[in-house]
Chains A and B, each alone.
Chain A
């Protein structure tokens, strides 16, 4: 990293010994960023900010929360009623989880469409999938903490999934629970882990950023930047764009927090947990519904669990399933169609996950599950071979072809993999 000469002598003194200012200048100020990023590239920074919002509100909430089966529900109500602005903290935290997932899902689908997982960004993508897994674990355990009916029964259903593991399943579940049912030890450890995991996420986010800054952002054209004419310094161009995106995001977020705070929650979670009374329908939070639908689509318990984890596992190997050298879906006419079908499939899975597992829903859920895996395991590898991509532009600053540019672009396509 080149040392920059700062005018302030104190900054210069520190930077010579601890190059923190050079680092910040390099990574957050002059960091060259493709100049053609569209608004879908806002969602990375939004995800990071969501994480910070969750950690800050979470720490504040933990100061008034009691992780005990006899007091947890009441302590949450105390936060809602007696803690100064406790209702605001809790509603931000509760809706923040949903908004975090909305942002991350958009971020993921952006990566899927523009081929951001392809070389040389495979590890960047894999770290992102690790973050998604950690988020799911954290969100699940967080939902258990208020100790309402859905907390308790959701925890019971999900932890019971591990009993499907042959041989040691029952032992693992007992170990997870710290007893023979979801009870006080379970609540205590979930609170402990719910506090810990966000900081693990922060760690993986740092790695995600290091990997990102190695080659810089992908862009809507999916071609590499060819020089300074293709890029802009991160500040002020993308700091202001991210700030604008943040303002719009916060507007939607605030609308939910202040006017529809319970819309994405379930009324049953305002009933204290009762081990003797099972709710009519145990439904997970909306962001788990597609995975819940995949879990229920397989008639066999172990098979369902494997399919559900498989739905995430395929994302880990995605960079090697899609071998097409062209990144951006813009230049892949057939891929583009299947991308939208996959998105529709995921929405459909979410809908099926919210419905009772009966009648037509079961059939549709199974077909949608099969389609999900066919997309990744069959269509993408096959498309990489049979699809003829449209010609790529020569560079970001010359997106329009001149003369024989179309041919040159097509010939240049395989080089993009480098």
Chain B
């Protein structure tokens, strides 16, 4: 047992969670998807999706998400078709060998705002707006990190010189970020009349990106509960069976 504890301790304390060097200051918030039984907040995800479309998608792609995936947010097949139809994607080549544009269908992925990285950099002062599909999992403490990053555009301390084309962000490692402040409050108008302060929109976006990073999270946790119940019962049963079989063995 002692050994087991030591190994567990080794796992815990050598984990990158303890090793990562962030640099920025993070705010803490409560999230519906936290913890072993956490679930997605569909209303918040829909609002986050709207905010992504109206605020983020001008620069940031969402490569790993297809329109059909939006069913997870609670949209029905017709709504998804309608959303997809608002986008144009490149298809082809056609019979004449030409590429052509057509309206997107649910099977298509979200089209990226730029054709390639060079085009993206050229349009953004040399900075590259990242794909946001996995951003939630690609940063330590993803939820609090994204929330803090979106809401920590504050005035730079007097002694700091912020170069042209850079912005001061208290949560960002090194504090100099190339992304201008994206949220000011009332950046989107929510149909459900929900709070549209910068803080609330940031949280909605975090809910949305938690889903884009791992759409199977709810299934995973739900399956996990059933599997754990089964395994705990199996452990109990096999322990009983073991005691029964070993009962006649003299020490």
The answer on a CB contact under 8 Å between A354 and B19 is yes
Q: Which of A221-277 contact B (CB under 8 A)?
A: 232, 236-237, 240-241, 243-244, 247-248, 250-251, 254-255, 257-259, 261-268, 270-271
The answer on a CB contact under 8 Å between A289 and B14 is yes
A91 nearest CB neighbor, chain B only: B220
The answer on a CB contact under 8 Å between B137 and A270 is yes
A344 nearest CB neighbor, chain B only: B6
Asked if B36 lies at the interface with its beta carbon under 8 angstroms from chain A, I say: yes
Q: How far is the CA of A259 from the CA of B238 in the complex (A)?
A: 24
Which of B88-96, B181-189, B227-235 lies on the face that meets chain A?
A: B227-235
Interface flags for B9-32 (1: CB within 8 Å of A; 0: not) read 111011111111100000000000
Asked if A35 lies at the interface with its beta carbon under 8 angstroms from chain B, I say: yes
Q: How far is the CA of A407 from the CA of B219 in the complex (A)?
A: 64
The answer on a CB contact under 8 Å between A343 and B6 is yes
The answer on a CB contact under 8 Å between B16 and A267 is yes
Q: How far is the CA of A135 from the CA of B139 in the complex (A)?
A: 29
The answer on a CB contact under 8 Å between B137 and A240 is no
- Given the contacts A236-B245, A267-B20, A350 and B10 also touching, CB distance less than 8 Å: yes
Residue of B9, B134, B173, B224 touching A257 (CB-CB under 8 A): B224
Q: How far is the CA of A283 from the CA of B63 in the complex (A)?
A: 28
Asked if A65 lies at the interface with its beta carbon under 8 angstroms from chain B, I say: no
Give the size range of A's interface with the partner.
35 or more
Q: Which of A100-134 contact B (CB under 8 A)?
A: 102, 105-106, 109-110
- Given the contacts A241-B242, A262-B137, A343-B3, A286 and B14 also touching, CB distance less than 8 Å: yes
Using Cβ atoms and an 8 Å threshold, which residues of chain B touch A240?
238, 241-242, 245-246
Using Cβ atoms and an 8 Å threshold, which residues of chain B touch A283?
16, 19
Asked if B7 lies at the interface with its beta carbon under 8 angstroms from chain A, I say: yes
- Given the contacts A244-B235, A244-B239, A270-B138, A258 and B10 also touching, CB distance less than 8 Å: no
Give the size range of B's interface with the partner.
35 or more
Asked if A215 lies at the interface with its beta carbon under 8 angstroms from chain B, I say: no
Q: How far is the CA of A243 from the CA of B246 in the complex (A)?
A: 14
Asked if B4 lies at the interface with its beta carbon under 8 angstroms from chain A, I say: yes
Please indicate which of the listed interface residues B14, B21, B142 has the most CB atoms of chain A within 10 Å of its own CB: B14
Which of A17-25, A80-88, A374-382 lies on the face that meets chain B?
A: A80-88
Asked if A63 lies at the interface with its beta carbon under 8 angstroms from chain B, I say: no
Using Cβ atoms and an 8 Å threshold, which residues of chain B touch A255?
224, 228
Q: Which of B80-137 contact A (CB under 8 A)?
A: 133-134, 137
Shortest Cβ distance from B224 into chain A, in angstroms?
A: 3
The answer on a CB contact under 8 Å between A35 and B15 is no
Using Cβ atoms and an 8 Å threshold, which residues of chain B touch A77?
64, 133-134
The answer on a CB contact under 8 Å between B231 and A286 is no
- Given the contacts A247-B231, A356-B21, A268 and B138 also touching, CB distance less than 8 Å: yes
The answer on a CB contact under 8 Å between B134 and A281 is no
Q: Which of B206-251 contact A (CB under 8 A)?
A: 213-216, 219-221, 223-225, 227-228, 231-232, 234-235, 238-239, 241-242, 245-246, 249-251
Shortest Cβ distance from B151 into chain A, in angstroms?
A: 21
Using Cβ atoms and an 8 Å threshold, which residues of chain A touch B221?
258-259
Interface flags for A310-323 (1: CB within 8 Å of B; 0: not) read 00000000000000
Q: How far is the CA of A200 from the CA of B20 in the complex (A)?
A: 35
Shortest Cβ distance from A30 into chain B, in angstroms?
A: 15
The answer on a CB contact under 8 Å between A355 and B228 is no
Using Cβ atoms and an 8 Å threshold, which residues of chain B touch A271?
134, 138
The answer on a CB contact under 8 Å between A259 and B231 is no
- Given the contacts A237-B249, A251-B228, A80 and B7 also touching, CB distance less than 8 Å: no
A/B interface sample: 6 pairs, CB < 8 A: A98-B11, A106-B3, A109-B3, A240-B246, A244-B239, A267-B137
6 extra interchain contacts, Cβ-Cβ under 8 A, other than A258-B225, A258-B228, A350-B14? A81-B69, A102-B7, A240-B242, A244-B242, A267-B139, A351-B13
Top 8 nearest A-B pairs by Cβ distance? A258-B224, A270-B138, A247-B235, A244-B238, A354-B19, A87-B216, A251-B231, A259-B36
